[in-house]
Amino acid sequence: MNIRNRKDNQSSNQTNILVLIVLLLFSSILGRLFWLQIIKGSFYRTLSNENRIRLVANPPIRGKITTQNGKLLADNKLRFSLIAQPHLIDKQELKDLLKRLSDLLKVNQDILSLTYRNGLENNQVSIVLLGRLSKTQVLHFKENEESFPGVQVNTELVRYYPYGNFASHVLGYTQLITFEEFKKLSKHGYKIKDVIGRSGLEAVFEPHLRGKWGGEMLEVDVSGKIQRSLGYQPPVMGNDLKLTLDFDLQRAAEKALEDKPAGAIVVLEPNTGAIKAMASKPGFDPNFFTKPVRTQKEFKDIFLSPKKPLFSRALNAYDPGSTWKIVTGMAGMESGKFEPNIRLQTAACIQYGSHCFPEHNRKGWGEIGYEDAFRVSSNTFFYQIGAAVGIEQLYDSAIKLGFNARTGVEIVSEESRGFVGNKEWADAGRGWGRPGMTPWIPEDIASASIGQAVVQVTPLQLARAYAVFANGGYLITPHFVDSDINWLSSKYKKKVDIKPSTLNTIRRGLKKVVDSGTGRNLKWNLPTLPPVAGKTGTAEDSTGGADHAWFACFAPYEASEIVVVAFAQNTPGGGSVHALPMAQQVLKVWHDQALE
């Protein structure tokens, strides 16, 4: 009896333990199900969808850039590349596949093999076997596509500049976004393989030009095969950008620089500030930055060349030489110390400090007034003016004409503010010495009077200053895009505080330069060109290089429509010899347009 009871109790305990284990097991399962379906349900549903759904992104179509007369300067074009997907290619058939591709597309099999092997080593999901397919190659492959599993033609839009380095410093270029940029811009719709305007107007008008991404949502099975499309959103094209550039004037400016080692030409409307041409040499081809394959030499020629092709000479500052004499003349008359009718005795040289500063003809011009001083470009006349009025008055006139400041042009981040030295700058150490150890000296004011050593200006700044004398006394804002801005408003076109007598005296002097002075060759072979006013300039390079050549002018004299500044960097021989013919080529095209 006791034995039977003991056995019954043992059986009952075993049953209870078994039930307990079953309960614990089901509780665990139910708990796990609760965790997976309730607590983490949304998370795993998202994972499931991601495994089932593929998003195929379509990049935005960048807006076009055109000249004022409709010439296309920046566009987009299709580029075809051959893509291999290793996970879809049978390893045993790889060699034969590459051999057949080589025969079909007429390319070296060893190159295909090397490219494929490098892609595998870098764990690339898609390997670019050929970066740029011709239309014939695309056609041949498409006809035989089924014979090449795991290989396909990829189509993409790339930025394209049909005229190469034409206006390259104005347009700038686009480039793949960096990871640091992506982290900042992803919230604005940028993707890791996006492109972005890197310089020039491409960068300034990036939001205007770029457009928006589109894409298609595809449902796939476990093997990755597409089952159906769940929706398509087309990419949104960016806005086009119409510039103030005149294609023919820009082409003339580019051509005028061809035989110069380096330099720039700026052409603008003096009344509105619209830039009609801006050329800089050396230039660069913006298409370089969208090439699928670039050689080491190409990289070196762009980024390491001593010629600095990415550097815009139109926006960089140089010694202006005698083109600066409009500032000294303005300072003399505005100070009241040298009235418009004043006459001064010139000399072979005048002593300032330890140096006798020479007249460029080494003998002087006798007693002359402002107009003849401009006509013959007398140095000793303007030395006397500058030394007597002082650097404060000279500096004040320079500021009124827009120097020592950026012009307000759209590509401001690439523009130098130039430089006009003064006593405060000298007393502070001149940028290289100790404060109090490099004071302003008499030699400085002599140099400043004729645009040397302590004065540097950009070709664009000089064009803006000469526009003041072309338009009747207004400082305009140079620009490439009219947009909806009223460029004639007082915000962008400001009246300069200058006496009418000063303005008119300088204007007459500049006209004499072209009529019978250092710029008299301007109208050679252009007998019907309307009256022009301008100034030649030859400037010593304060950095130690050969002389610079300058010529600045405006036309017609009475109702000016155009300002041209030509600059030949380190081109010794004089402004009348080198820079004037450059401006002449531009003026000829402008005049021919007026006659049409």
Q: 486-518 burial, b for 16+ CB within 10 Å, e for fewer? A: ebeeeebbbebebeeebbebbbbbbbbbbbebb
Q: Assess whether pLDDT exceeds 60 at residue 6.
A: no
3-state SS class at 548: strand
Task: Tell me if 554 sits within 8 A of 563, measured CB to CB.
Answer: yes
Average pLDDT, integer, range 166-189? 92
Instruction: Classify residue 362 as left (phi > 0), alpha (psi -120 to 50) or beta.
Output: left
Q: Give the closest residue to 202 by CA, choosing from 178, 230, 167, 153.
A: 167
Look at residue 30 in the predicted model and tell me its pLDDT. Answer: 65
Task: Tell me if 450 sits within 8 A of 322, measured CB to CB.
Answer: yes
Place of tokens 């076997």: 129
Distances (CA, A) of 243 to 253, 274, 312: 16, 9, 18
Look at residue 271 in the predicted model and tell me its pLDDT. Answer: 98
Q: Report how far residue 505's alpha carbon sits from residue 342's, in angstroms, rounded to the nearest whole number.
A: 11
Write out the H or E segment, with its range, that includes residue 334.
helix 325-335
Look at residue 44 in the predicted model and tell me its pLDDT. Answer: 46
580 — pLDDT class (breaks 50, 70, 90) = very high
Average pLDDT, integer, range 127-150? 88
Higher pLDDT, 300 or 319: 319
Taking each continuous run of H as one helix and of E as one strand, the counts in the chain are 19, 23
Q: Report how far residue 268's alpha carbon sits from residue 317's, in angstroms, rounded to the nearest whole number.
A: 18
Strands 241-242 and 65-66 turn out to be: parallel
Token pair belonging to 14 = 């075993």
Place of tokens 């005698």: 322
Look at residue 186 in the predicted model and tell me its pLDDT. Answer: 87
3-state SS class at 472: coil
Q: Assess whether pLDDT exceeds 50 at residue 340.
A: yes
Secondary structure, 3-state, 58-85: ECCCCCCEECCCCCEEEEEEEEEEEEEC
- Which range among 1-5, 88-92, 176-180, 454-458 shows the weakest confidence by mean pLDDT? 1-5
> Which phi and psi angles does 126 have, rounded to 5°?
-125, 125
Residues spanned by CATH 3.40.710.10 within the chain? Answer: 247-300+312-595
* Type of residue found at 74: A
Look at residue 222 in the predicted model and tell me its pLDDT. Answer: 57
Cα 468–472–476 angle (5° rounding)? Answer: 40
224 — pLDDT class (breaks 50, 70, 90) = low
Token pair belonging to 514 = 């072209």
Range among 18-22, 100-104, 416-420 rated most confident: 416-420
pLDDT tens, position by position, 84-99: 888 888 888 899 999 9
The HSE-up count of residue 415 (CA atoms within 13 Å, CB side) is: 22
Place of tokens 């999901």: 125
9 — pLDDT class (breaks 50, 70, 90) = low
Average pLDDT, integer, range 415-430? 94
pLDDT tens, position by position, 198-222: 999 999 999 999 988 777 666 666 5
**Which CATH number, 3.30.1360.170, 3.90.1310.10, 3.40.50.10860, 2.40.50.220, labels domain 55-242?**
3.90.1310.10
Residues spanned by CATH 3.90.1310.10 within the chain? Answer: 55-242
Q: Assess whether pLDDT exceeds 50 at residue 409.
A: yes
Average pLDDT, integer, range 102-128? 86
Q: Report how far residue 373's alpha carbon sits from residue 346's, in angstroms, rounded to the nearest whole number.
A: 9
Fold classification of 247-300+312-595 is Beta-lactamase (3.40.710)
DSSP state of 236: B
Average pLDDT, integer, range 247-273? 98
Higher pLDDT, 45 or 576: 576
Higher pLDDT, 260 or 192: 260
Q: Report how far residue 375's alpha carbon sits from residue 366's, in angstroms, rounded to the nearest whole number.
A: 14
The neighbouring-strand residues paired with 226 are 220
Look at residue 128 in the predicted model and tell me its pLDDT. Answer: 85
The neighbouring-strand residues paired with 263 are 281, 568
Percent of the chain predicted with pLDDT > 90: 66
Look at residue 239 in the predicted model and tell me its pLDDT. Answer: 95
- Which range among 170-174, 264-268, 422-426, 564-568 shows the weakest confidence by mean pLDDT? 422-426
Task: Tell me if 321 sits within 8 A of 550, measured CB to CB.
Answer: yes
Average pLDDT, integer, range 409-435? 93
Look at residue 67 in the predicted model and tell me its pLDDT. Answer: 97
Strands 127-130 and 72-84 turn out to be: antiparallel
Average pLDDT, integer, range 115-140? 84
* Type of residue found at 234: P
Largest CA-CA distance found in the chain, in angstroms, rounded? 151
Strands 214-220 and 548-555 turn out to be: unpaired
Q: Across all residues in the chain, what is the average pLDDT?
A: 89
Q: Assess whether pLDDT exceeds 90 at residue 371.
A: yes
Q: Report how far residue 343's alpha carbon sits from residue 30's, in angstroms, rounded to the nearest whole number.
A: 108
pLDDT tens, position by position, 495-537: 999 999 999 999 999 999 999 999 999 998 898 999 999 999 9
pLDDT tens, position by position, 265-318: 999 999 999 999 999 999 999 999 988 777 888 888 899 999 999 999 999 999
Q: Report how far residue 596's alpha carbon sits from residue 536's, in angstroms, rounded to the nearest whole number.
A: 30
Task: Tell me if 269 sits within 8 A of 564, measured CB to CB.
Answer: no
